[in-house]
Amino acid sequence: MKTITVAFAGNPNVGKTSLLNHLAGTNLKVGNWPGATVEKKEGRLSFMGQDIVLVDLPGVYTLEPISEDEWIASNFLTEGKPDLVVNVIETPNMERDLLLTVELLERDIPMVLVLNMWDEAQKLGIEVDTERLSELLGVRVVKTNGRTGEGVKAILPNILEVIALREKPKPLRYGRELEEFLEKVRERPEETKAELIRKLLQSPKFETLRAHIKRTLGKNPYDLIKDERYAVAHGLYREVVHRRALHSRDITDALDKVLLHPYFGVPLFLLVMFLLFKVAFDFSLPFMDWLDSFVNGFLASLFFVLFSYFGVDEWVQRFVSEALVGGVGFVLTFLPLIAVIYFLLALLEFSGYLPRVAFLMDRFMHRLGLHGKSLIPLLLGFGCNVPAIVATRTLETKRDKLLVIAMIPFISCPARLVVFSFFALIFFKNPALVIFSLYLLGILVALLTAVFLRKTAFSGQLYHFVMELPPYRLPTLRLLFRIVWVYVKDFLYRAGTLIFAASVLIWLLLNLPPGVKNPSESVAAGIGKAILPMLKPMGIEDWRVSTSLIPAFLAREIVLGSMGTIYAVELKGEEKSFEPLKALEEQVVAFGFALKDALVNVLKPLPSAFEVEEGHEGLRRVVAGSMSPASAFAFMVFLLLYTSCLGTVAVIWRETGKVFASLFLLYSLVLGWLLGVLAYRLLSIWSF
């Protein structure tokens, strides 16, 4: 049997995602519409032996091509040839939503109408005569509560019956004049109303007819069609909806009085942001550390012991335990952070607060040419650039998304703080000031990048602000967890594979040719020596510094560990006796401690993500001798700006494609180098 394709269409915020989640469960997948940055959700399922694909169209108020969203929705309905369209309506706003219903009916596609948020409508005293509605349109009507899932079960059987019985909606009837004009443009009997309208409005063949309409009716054809659509939608609404005057207190109005307060709104947002930041990073940090030790300490050693037992060649042993297992571990360490950020963002989004942030903060952000919502990803960047870039999915337009993604990597994160504090403590009397100035430099470069992009690649675009603030709703935990799972799966599949491959490649560079005992003989050292002349203008004359940049592409803080190895002052973990069972026991205990730490961290008033541990004593002494303060500062500037972070590059790649990601990496490299050189020159003049 052929797979049935069902398109879910509806206005924004009508609860399509929740419905899809109830229907497809964890079989939901996220991705992007081809050639667009608009998110596409798709769920596959089997119901009564029938394979069904549910496709979530972008939330739109009309199918008129105003922006990418409407274009995608409209295009899928014609080109994607769905077998059926499920039109989801937010029952409390039925009058508005019926416009889209009318436009969908013009397409002549079998339809099931879902009146969602039925419970909210009841509370507002709105009654809908569903039998009459069904009779007028020739379409089945299902009542649901998307939050709890009540009534959702009826959707699938109705879809199958409509398709099995070949039920079609009743043809729409517009006013006599318009119907006559539409018949005039008909060339084939099977043309749908939507096609006739498109021809009437656009086809060069009917130029004279358009002029005739304008002359006889005094309005242009587009306005005529628009008015007719509204008239039909309004007529339907009048016929089936009955309102009782009800005076229930509206929770949304009450909450908005506080959260959107002219004076308290912004401080409250900052408080929410602080809590988000704190919970996200402090809660996930112990788990990240635990995963790191579990994979690199336990699993890697376990493989090592097993291979030694079977007498596998040492180089192969190390490749499997360090590169393969280590690569998996590197991907896994991001998981707790990504999952927690997705959870909190989904909570903010589904509760209705996120759109309000846009409204609140737009007065500051629009001066920078950015959408109010873009402040959230930018602030998250101070915690970690990877989830910050992931968080740009809440931005609606491609322009905003790319602008913010190009800014985030310059926002300094704790990984950079580790490097900064190491060098600043060695070379400067006032390390705090140096670190602070580096943070400021990062923010400045982010802003200049935004200005630069707006003047060049993203110029000439009009920027209006139009959005709906949905009512506050408490999402169910089940919905949130499922959403998190869908995104985590997507991250593992797309960014995870890239991170894994690159970390294996870097291991190979450090350990090829086979049998190298000392990093100075490796391919990496060869590359390090080759790129050294390029670092000379920054006052860096030591190949060991340039070589340490290669493993540091994984993550900036690795620069210290790898310098330690290359300078041969810190020997990598000595072989200890490894007993698998005892070690496993230790790991279980460690997980318990991680859980405890996570909960304790969340309760502490200040974020602990910025606590820096001191270390690398031996390395301090050697590095102090091999660099000057000016070149150390230049090196820090370089590392601040150049996107030396595999995780960040991988998510940029995932979100924007490889062209943008490579161009951005190059841009950050050139900029880091230029400003590094500039910093070195300036500081050298002041005779540091």
Partner 1 sequence: MNLEEVSPGQEVVITELRGKEDILKKVEAMGLRRGKRVHLLQKVGRNLLLKLDNSRVVISRDLARAIEVQ
Query: Closer to partner 1 at the Cβ: 396 or 655?
Result: 396
Query: Closer to partner 1 at the Cβ: 93 or 562?
Result: 93
Query: Closer to partner 1 at the Cβ: 58 or 387?
Result: 58
Q: What's phi and psi for 165, nearest 5 deg?
A: -90, 5
CA atoms of 574 and 519, how far apart (whole Å): 17
Taking the complex as a whole, the smallest distance from the CB of residue 96 to partner 1 amounts, in Å, to: 4
Query: Closer to partner 1 at the Cβ: 322 or 400?
Result: 400
At how many degrees (to 10) do helices 221-240 and 130-137 cross?
140
As to burial, measured by CB atoms within 10 angstroms (0-12 exposed, 13-18 middle, 19+ buried), residue 372 is: buried
Contact 58, 69 (CB under 8 A): yes
* Helix or strand holding residue 497 (H, E): helix 497-511
Taking the complex as a whole, the smallest distance from the CB of residue 470 to partner 1 amounts, in Å, to: 8
Q: Please count the other Cβ atoms lying within 10 Å of the Cβ belonging to residue 620.
A: 16
Taking the complex as a whole, the smallest distance from the CB of residue 58 to partner 1 amounts, in Å, to: 13
Query: Closer to partner 1 at the Cβ: 4 or 273?
Result: 273
Query: Closer to partner 1 at the Cβ: 104 or 299?
Result: 104
Query: Closer to partner 1 at the Cβ: 40 or 234?
Result: 234
CA atoms of 189 and 639, how far apart (whole Å): 67
CA atoms of 536 and 553, how far apart (whole Å): 20
DSSP state letter for 250: P
Query: Closer to partner 1 at the Cβ: 241 or 390?
Result: 241
Q: Please count the other Cβ atoms lying within 10 Å of the Cβ belonging to residue 54.
A: 26
Taking the complex as a whole, the smallest distance from the CB of residue 244 to partner 1 amounts, in Å, to: 14
Taking the complex as a whole, the smallest distance from the CB of residue 64 to partner 1 amounts, in Å, to: 5
Query: Closer to partner 1 at the Cβ: 27 or 351?
Result: 351
Query: Closer to partner 1 at the Cβ: 96 or 620?
Result: 96
Taking the complex as a whole, the smallest distance from the CB of residue 469 to partner 1 amounts, in Å, to: 4
Taking the complex as a whole, the smallest distance from the CB of residue 61 to partner 1 amounts, in Å, to: 4
6 has which bridge partners? 54, 84
DSSP state letter for 572: -
Which one, of 35, 147, 14, 54, lies nearest residue 657 by Cα?
A: 35
- Give CA 110 to chain center in angstroms: 33
Judged by DSSP in three states, 207 sits in helix
Q: What's phi and psi for 29, nearest 5 deg?
A: -125, 145
Taking the complex as a whole, the smallest distance from the CB of residue 279 to partner 1 amounts, in Å, to: 27
Q: Calculate the CA dihedral of residues 251, 252, 257, 258 and round it to 10 degrees.
A: 80
Contact 496, 315 (CB under 8 A): no
Taking the complex as a whole, the smallest distance from the CB of residue 37 to partner 1 amounts, in Å, to: 19
As to burial, measured by CB atoms within 10 angstroms (0-12 exposed, 13-18 middle, 19+ buried), residue 345 is: buried
Tokens standing for 377? 């990803």
Query: Closer to partner 1 at the Cβ: 95 or 289?
Result: 95
Taking the complex as a whole, the smallest distance from the CB of residue 668 to partner 1 amounts, in Å, to: 32
Taking the complex as a whole, the smallest distance from the CB of residue 67 to partner 1 amounts, in Å, to: 8
- Cα angle, residue 21 at apex, residues 16 and 24 outer, rounded to 5°: 115
How many residues in the chain? Answer: 688
- Residues lying near partner 1 in the complex (CB under 8 A): 61-62, 64, 66-67, 92-93, 95-96, 99-100, 124, 226, 230, 252, 256, 260, 262, 265, 358-360, 362-364, 366, 462, 464-471
Contact 12, 90 (CB under 8 A): no
Q: Calculate the CA dihedral of residues 453, 456, 461, 465 and round it to 10 degrees.
A: 20
CA atoms of 491 and 499, how far apart (whole Å): 11
Taking the complex as a whole, the smallest distance from the CB of residue 206 to partner 1 amounts, in Å, to: 21
Query: Closer to partner 1 at the Cβ: 197 or 549?
Result: 197
Query: Closer to partner 1 at the Cβ: 216 or 248?
Result: 248
414 preceded by a cis bond (ω within 30 of 0): no
Taking the complex as a whole, the smallest distance from the CB of residue 40 to partner 1 amounts, in Å, to: 21
Contact 635, 680 (CB under 8 A): no
Tokens standing for 164? 């099995």
CA atoms of 52 and 158, how far apart (whole Å): 13
